[in-house]
Chains A and B, each alone.
Chain A
Amino acid sequence: MRHQARIAVGPVQFRIGSDWPEPIAALERLYADYPRDDARPADATVRLFAARPWRRWVRPSVHIGGDFIVPDALPLPLSMGLLAAEMGMNLQVALGWRRHLLLHASAVARDGRALIMSGESGSGKSTLAALLGEQADGGDWRLMGDEFTLIDPVGGDAFAFPRAVSLKNQAIAEVAARVDAARLGPLLAATPKGDIRHLVPRADAIAAMHEPARPALLLFPRFGGETSVERMGEGEAFVRLTEASTNYVALGEAGFAALTRFVRETPAFGISYSDSAAGLALVGQLWAEAAR
């Protein structure tokens, strides 16, 4: 394709091709500080393309394709090309990656142990992970990722997929107030997922992206409502995670074994919180108990 980039996030080497220069330039800026190995063959291919040649210029709209394609996926305007690229990368991992059990979950790690947060879009799992990753006081959390957490089916360790964090709506202002503006991508206003702005993880989180962490705590956050904590049984955690995994079925017995072990070894809680401060306080308290 005319324009291309190669990006490595965690264990996945991406090749992204585009009919337009803009999405590639935006990606190159966002991922400028990630380690690069341009000679390494790609694990996954993303294509951003115009459905008809003239649509490159006339009302340009970006279709998302690659190794795997979702039929009927709606294209995005060129101004949201960066979002299209990110969605394409997520899609290829979700549908194509087989080395690990993929959990649709955010994760942070500390002292080689991982806190994993699973939930629907809007649950706050991304924001909590981003805020934990930025905590200056008593923090030292390493952001592992806001979208996917990878579980090694053999050893049971969690592996990071620290793509740029996708901050949405109110979370943008909340996080932007705490970080260097140079680590923020452009504001993508009024996308189908609301306002979006990407946050580049801290340099140490990127440098440590190949380091495994032992799962120590599993949370299912829910943003809004009274503060509450509810212990979750292994069975419920298991079922929820099968729904949060894009490759559980494809991994067959190995996936079952990995997930069974994961829920047996990792204490799980459902938490509700009304604002980020309350959420962070809950996480801190549960971590202190789990990490004892």
Chain B
Amino acid sequence: MSAVQIFVDLLAGRRDAAALASRDWDGVIGVARSEAMLATLAHRLERAALPAPVAALFADQRAAAKVAQAQALWEAEMARRALAPAGIEFVLLKGAAYAAAGMSCSEGRQIGDLDILVLASDIRRAENELLNAGWEWVKSDPYDDFYYREHMHELPPLIHKTRDRMIDVHHTILPRTHRITPDALLLMSEAVETSSGFRVLNPAAMVCHCAAHMLADGDLQGGLRNLWDLHCLTVGFLKDDPDFYLTLIEEAHRHGLTNVVRRGLRLANSLYGTPLQPYVAPLMSSFEPELADDFYIRRLLARDDWGRVTRPLLEQAFYIRSHWLRMPPAMLAKHLWTKWRKG
């Protein structure tokens, strides 16, 4: 049994941590670290019987994640203080949103940059307000800057000069040039407020974005973590609403994300045991497996006991796919040519 499989089984609750051999932990911890999920695992196994050194390491991880989360939410608060006086509304995305909304996936979840969504019509003003409040440009390359502004769904990343933290300001959730164009106005207008006073996407939209981010916008790096988010979000929302899948599929349809969301749920089901609920009425929704799912699973599980990626060709293929989805062929060719010339 490979370490990554044991890791996934532990998260899914399919395997008893107490039954692991002492030496199995090296690989499990190595994989968890390379997926930036050690603190997530530490939370999942908080009440499990663990060898003392593992229990101690996990306690460290939980404490550190708590601090990191407070720091990430503080960053969100700083953005609010910069944007609110100008009347610019924003919605938190990804890690910070899960933490602000108290979703179960936020327990121990690493939060990198602060991701926010603003109305496309507010994006220039948001940029100005943030620059005035101490954020500054990271990228100095004119082509990259042009590329972001012309084709991406976000501003070039900004970093705060004293706190050294990045913010990604989005105006939609997939690149402009992507084959799928979600309705950002709907996402913004139907966002909900958390008890902590921040706005986040509504449940169905949150799951849609999670799936889109993982399957339509990247090369599956960090895929196990994104999929864990998807699993936890879905399970949580199903508890509040047994017919959540109806709302979800309808929302996905509005953004052109039906296939993406369905694939995400199928993958989450195979790895983490997310319940799937097909419908025939009031709308048709099924989860028939597709041939390609297998490639995704293999890519997601491509780690050895030392935390290294094991399938370079598959990794490369998903990297190429992510670019293929992101822009039309002629544009992709031009982009790659420019990047290649610049070395």
Residue-wise, chain A 7-21 has the 8 Å CB interface mask toward B (1 for contact) of 000000101010000
Is A254 interfacial (CB-CB < 8 Å)? Answer: yes
B60 x A250 contact (CB < 8 A): no
- B29: which A residues are within 8 A, CB to CB? 41-42, 45
A42 x B26 contact (CB < 8 A): yes
Residues of A whose CB lies within 8 Å of any CB of B are: 1, 13, 15, 17, 39-43, 45, 47, 67, 96-99, 250-254
Is B104 interfacial (CB-CB < 8 Å)? Answer: no
- A40: which B residues are within 8 A, CB to CB? 22, 51, 53
- B34: which A residues are within 8 A, CB to CB? 67
Residue of B nearest to A97 (CB): B60
Q: List 14 A-B contacts (CB under 8 A).
A: A17-B306, A40-B53, A41-B29, A41-B53, A42-B29, A45-B30, A67-B30, A67-B33, A67-B34, A98-B60, A98-B61, A98-B64, A250-B64, A252-B71
- A15: which B residues are within 8 A, CB to CB? 26, 30
- A98: which B residues are within 8 A, CB to CB? 60-61, 63-64
A45 x B306 contact (CB < 8 A): yes
Residue of B nearest to A253 (CB): B67
Apart from A39-B22, A98-B61, A99-B60, what are 8 other A-B pairs with CB-CB below 8 Å? A41-B54, A42-B29, A45-B307, A47-B308, A98-B63, A99-B56, A250-B68, A253-B67
B67 x A254 contact (CB < 8 A): yes
Is B57 interfacial (CB-CB < 8 Å)? Answer: yes
The binding surface of chain B is classed by DSSP as helix
Q: How far is the CB of B83 from chain A (nearest CB, A)?
A: 25
Give the complex CA separation of A99 and B61 in angstroms.
9
Please tell me which one of the listed residues A45, A252, A253 contacts residue B26 in the complex, with CB atoms under 8 A apart. A45
- B64: which A residues are within 8 A, CB to CB? 98, 250-251
Q: With A41-B26, A45-B30, A67-B34 in contact, do A254 and B54 touch (Cβ < 8 Å)?
A: no
Most chain A CB neighbours (cut-off 10 Å) among B22, B67, B71, B306: B306
- A13: which B residues are within 8 A, CB to CB? 53
- B54: which A residues are within 8 A, CB to CB? 41
A39 x B23 contact (CB < 8 A): yes
Is B296 interfacial (CB-CB < 8 Å)? Answer: no
Is B25 interfacial (CB-CB < 8 Å)? Answer: yes
Q: How far is the CB of B50 from chain A (nearest CB, A)?
A: 9
Residue of A nearest to B71 (CB): A252
Q: With A67-B30, A67-B33 in contact, do A43 and B67 touch (Cβ < 8 Å)?
A: no
Residue of A nearest to B67 (CB): A252
B63 x A254 contact (CB < 8 A): yes
A251 x B67 contact (CB < 8 A): yes
Is B70 interfacial (CB-CB < 8 Å)? Answer: yes
Give the complex CA separation of A99 and B68 in angstroms.
15
Q: With A67-B30, A67-B33, A250-B64 in contact, do A43 and B57 touch (Cβ < 8 Å)?
A: yes
Q: How far is the CB of B53 from chain A (nearest CB, A)?
A: 5
Give the complex CA separation of A15 and B33 in angstroms.
14
Give the complex CA separation of A99 and B63 in angstroms.
9
- A17: which B residues are within 8 A, CB to CB? 306
Give the complex CA separation of A204 and B317 in angstroms.
55
A47 x B306 contact (CB < 8 A): yes
9 closest A-B pairs (Cβ-Cβ)? A41-B25, A252-B67, A98-B60, A98-B64, A67-B33, A39-B22, A99-B60, A42-B26, A45-B30
Give the complex CA separation of A156 and B20 in angstroms.
35
Give the complex CA separation of A253 and B307 in angstroms.
31
Residue of A nearest to B56 (CB): A99
Give the complex CA separation of A96 and B33 in angstroms.
10
Q: How far is the CB of B38 from chain A (nearest CB, A)?
A: 9
Most chain A CB neighbours (cut-off 10 Å) among B25, B26, B68, B308: B26
- B53: which A residues are within 8 A, CB to CB? 13, 40-41, 43
